[in-house]
């Protein structure tokens, strides 16, 4: 009898311990779930590595306003311009990997700067790639005094000229500069690069005839769409622009896989919890699907691009390799 009572008490103690353990596990799971759901609990900082008023700044402010409302937290845009985007990107690399600091990234910070600068304080592995946001197509333009009317005539004009033709870009190492060097390499043509202080200044001088040709952003080129002093010959990207349906893409003209567009995306410091990255990716995609936002961006020459974090990272790796090859081949350097 005593043995039976002793056995029952042992069983009861074991059962009690099992119940306690199960209860603790059940309590822990909602707690962990709650931690994930609590983000964000404070203001989020969005670093733009360029000055106010440009495409990167405008895009961040449009998305930041909408996503901040969705997350029920303020998103502060912090402009950190300088050195081709490296100052702002370096600031992001030093930030805590807690999801409360992110940054705009473009061709320079995603692909080109790794090969243009020899003394960067950060590595490509220091960042997590969160979401793509937009593609900014570039237009090949030429002054009308050249009598060039289409892309094939543009190629012939450059190849047959007794002197090297000069082309403009917004600056050394800019997406426009790298794209034109890539185009020149693909078509086996040679031109002289003339860096300007921005895209708008370049198109003004093309219209005025001070320089003859360039790849320029849609937003800066659009005001001259009907100006007889300039012609639009081709556009980068996978499809024609709805606002310029008569301008063919480079792919249509036979130049397949020419990656000439400027790109925009969002990065965070490496090590941010995956659920936060996924949340941001989802919120960005939702925002870019809103017709009013899409229309506003397209008015500014920016066309929404949605991808997963893994797709974004794979794309960055591919483009960084391509950029490295053309920068080395062209001898482009900043320091």
What is the per-residue pLDDT across 275-293, written as a single tens digit (0 to 9) for each?
999 999 999 999 999 999 9
Residue 17: pLDDT band by 50, 70, 90 thresholds? low
Structure confidence at residue 27 (pLDDT): 47
> At 238, which helix (H) or strand (E)?
none
**Is the CA virtual torsion 79, 85, 91, 97 positive or negative?**
positive
- The token pair that represents 324 in the structure block: 């490295």
User: Would the pLDDT of 19 be above 50?
Assistant: no
Structure confidence at residue 131 (pLDDT): 98
Between CA 25 and CA 266 the distance in angstroms is: 36
What would the CATH number be for the domain defined by 138-235?
3.40.190.10
Between CA 94 and CA 292 the distance in angstroms is: 35
Structure confidence at residue 37 (pLDDT): 58
Structure confidence at residue 21 (pLDDT): 45
Average pLDDT over residues 122-139: 96
Structure confidence at residue 333 (pLDDT): 84
For residue 77, the tally of other CB atoms under 10 A from its CB is 16
Please name every residue paired with 90 in a beta bridge, in sequence order, or none if there are none.
none
Between CA 85 and CA 62 the distance in angstroms is: 20
User: Would the pLDDT of 12 be above 50?
Assistant: no
Average pLDDT over residues 34-57: 86
User: Would the pLDDT of 71 be above 70?
Assistant: yes
Q: Are strands 191-195 and 165-169 parallel, antiparallel or unpaired?
A: parallel
Domains in the chain: boundaries? 44-135+263-330, 138-235
- The token pair that represents 157 in the structure block: 């004009």
Average pLDDT over residues 77-105: 96
Structure confidence at residue 162 (pLDDT): 86
User: Would the pLDDT of 2 be above 80?
Assistant: no
Residue 334: pLDDT band by 50, 70, 90 thresholds? confident
Structure confidence at residue 255 (pLDDT): 94
User: Would the pLDDT of 29 be above 50?
Assistant: no
Q: Which residues contact 88 (CB under 8 A, 6 or more apart)?
A: 47, 48, 49, 50, 79, 80, 81, 82, 103, 104, 109
Average pLDDT over residues 34-62: 88
Average pLDDT over residues 175-194: 96
Structure confidence at residue 259 (pLDDT): 85
Quick: pLDDT tens for 239-277. 999 999 999 999 999 998 898 999 999 999 999 999 999
Q: Which residues contact 180 (CB under 8 A, 6 or more apart)?
A: 167, 169, 191, 193, 214, 215
- Taking the C-alpha atoms of 10, 14, 16 and 21 in order, what is their torsion angle to the nearest 10 degrees? 160
For residue 120, the tally of other CB atoms under 10 A from its CB is 17
Between CA 41 and CA 21 the distance in angstroms is: 31
User: Would the pLDDT of 25 be above 50?
Assistant: no
Average pLDDT over residues 288-301: 94
Q: Which residues contact 272 (CB under 8 A, 6 or more apart)?
A: 97, 98, 99, 128
User: Would the pLDDT of 7 be above 60?
Assistant: no
Decide whether 44-135+263-330 matches 138-235 in CATH topology.
yes
Helix, strand, coil % in the chain, rounded to nearest 5: 50, 20, 30
At which residue do the structure tokens 């790849």 appear? 215
User: Would the pLDDT of 22 be above 90?
Assistant: no
% of the chain exceeding 70 in pLDDT: 89
What's the whole-number average pLDDT of the chain? 89
User: Would the pLDDT of 23 be above 70?
Assistant: no
Residue 154: pLDDT band by 50, 70, 90 thresholds? very high
Structure confidence at residue 118 (pLDDT): 87
- Superfamily covering domain 44-135+263-330: Bordetella uptake gene, domain 1 (3.40.190.150)
Q: DSSP class of residue 214?
A: E
Residues 305 and 285: beta-carbon distance below 8 Å: no
Residues 131 and 266: beta-carbon distance below 8 Å: yes
Structure confidence at residue 197 (pLDDT): 87
Q: DSSP class of residue 119?
A: -
Question: Sheet containing 44-48: which strands, arranged edge to edge?
Answer: 75-79, 44-48, 101-106, 262-269, 127-136, 303-304
Distances (CA, A) of 63 to 89, 265, 290, 314: 19, 11, 11, 23
Quick: pLDDT tens for 206-236. 999 999 999 999 989 999 999 999 999 999 9
Return the SS3 of 170. coil
């Amino acid at each position: 009898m005593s043995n039976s009572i002793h056995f029952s008490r042992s069983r009861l103690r074991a059962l009690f311990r099992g119940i306690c353990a199960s209860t603790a596990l059940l309590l822990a799971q909602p707690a962990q779930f709650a931690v994930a759901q609590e983000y964000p609990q404070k203001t989020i900082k969005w670093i733009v590595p360029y000055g106010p008023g440009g495409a990167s700044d405008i895009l961040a402010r449009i998305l930041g306003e909408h996503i901040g409302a969705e997350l029920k937290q303020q998103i502060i845009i912090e402009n950190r311009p300088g050195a081709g985007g490296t100052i702002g990107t370096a600031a992001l690399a030093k930030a805590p990997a807690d999801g409360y600091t992110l940054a705009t990234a473009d061709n320079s910070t995603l692909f080109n700067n790794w090969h243009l600068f020899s003394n960067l304080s950060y590595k490509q592995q220091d960042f997590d790639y969160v979401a793509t946001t937009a593609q900014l197509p570039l237009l090949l333009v030429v002054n009308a005094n050249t009598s060039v009317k289409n892309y094939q005539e543009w190629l012939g004009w450059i190849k047959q000229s007794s002197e090297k033709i000069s082309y403009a870009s917004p600056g050394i190492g800019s997406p426009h500069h790298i794209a034109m060097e890539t185009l020149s390499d693909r078509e086996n043509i040679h031109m002289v690069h003339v860096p300007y202080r921005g895209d708008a200044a370049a198109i003004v001088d093309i219209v005025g005839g001070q320089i003859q040709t360039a790849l320029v952003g849609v937003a800066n080129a659009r005001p001259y769409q009907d100006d007889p002093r300039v012609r639009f010959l081709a556009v980068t990207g996978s499809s024609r622009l709805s606002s310029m349906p008569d301008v063919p893409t480079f792919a249509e003209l036979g130049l397949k896989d020419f990656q000439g567009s400027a790109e925009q995306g969002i990065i965070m410091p490496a090590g941010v919890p995956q659920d936060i990255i996924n949340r941001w990716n989802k919120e960005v995609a939702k925002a870019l699907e809103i017709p009013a936002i899409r229309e506003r961006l397209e008015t500014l020459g920016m066309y929404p691009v949605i991808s997963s974090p893994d797709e974004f990272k794979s794309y960055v790796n591919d483009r960084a390799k391509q950029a490295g090859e053309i920068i080395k081949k062209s001898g482009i350097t900043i320091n």
